[in-house]
Amino acid sequence: MNISKVSVITVCYNASDVISQCLDSVQEQVIENVTVEHIVIDGGSNDGTVEIIRAHKSPDHVVSEKDDGLYDAMNKGLASATGDVIAFLNSDDVYADTNVISDVVSAFKSSNAHAVFGDLVVFDPKKEGHIVRRWKAGPKGNFKHGWMPPHPTLFVRTSVFERHGGFNLNFKFAADYEWMIRSLYTENISLSYLPKTLVKMRAGGLSNASLRNRLTAHFEDYSAWKVNGKIPYPWTVFLKPLRKITQFIK
């Protein structure tokens, strides 16, 4: 399948301090014969985020309105995407270099896979970009052993979303994981691993904001299997967060 356009979806809310870097990292992508469509879905920010986005003039499609949370906004982005391949880049994340999308497209062409993913680093912006975690995804692993690709690095053919749908809004923290179980695992979608850092992510995250959120996310991880009629190993949802421990080893 030929790739002529890649859609990058960015969801944001009150992200005035980080959105410019995100927009720049998409705009600066160097790639020949492929259009990069950047879609920004804002949740009705009131801190100047929208003004920054519109002044930037690089996004191809901008929506600013109230939504029902992160995954509702992501679904709105999916509805607007017109590319052959779709990816999500959070407003406080950036692509690792200017050749990320070019390398991803090359990986699609050489592998004929349904999705391409790579590695991710998490940095502390308060310490001059100090890296606190390195997520080496590695080749496709076993979801039942707690493996999953880093969602911000995942580029997926649009046909996969057309076949399996978007994100389940019954999940507050783990809708991306549930989507992976529904499509990548259940249907055994072909994946291609690109062994390089694709995304730099700022430390933080909604699911890790409190113990309560972490416990809710843990419960949702189990529910992600259940709603798809799958039974994980008893240790599956425990191994998933435990895998992060090795990411702190430099």
Chain-centroid distance, C-alpha 144: 21
CA atoms within 13 A on the CB side of 107: 25
Which of the four pLDDT bands, split at 50, 70 and 90, describes residue 207? very low
Total tally of structural domains belonging to the chain: 1
What is the share, in percent, of the chain residues with pLDDT greater than 90?
A: 80
Tell me the three state secondary structure of residue 83: coil
User: pLDDT digits over 135-169, tens only?
Assistant: 999 998 999 999 999 999 999 999 999 999 999 99
> For all residues of the chain together, what is the average pLDDT?
92
Write the DSSP string, 111-161: H--SEEEEEEEEEEGGGTTEEEEEE---S---GGGT----GGG-EEEHHHH
Confidence of residue 128 (pLDDT cuts 50, 70, 90): low
Q: What is the pLDDT of residue 250?
A: 53
- pLDDT per position as a tens digit, 208-242: 445 566 678 889 999 999 999 999 998 998 888 77
pLDDT in tens, 25-36: 999 999 999 999
pLDDT of 109: 94
Range of 166's domain? 5-248
What's the CATH code of the domain at 222? 3.90.550.10
What does the DSSP 8-state code read for residue 198? Answer: E
* Amino acid letter, residue 193: Y
What pLDDT was estimated at residue 125?
82
The yes-or-no verdict on residue 94 having pLDDT over 60 is yes
H-only helix segments in 115-203: 158-164, 175-180
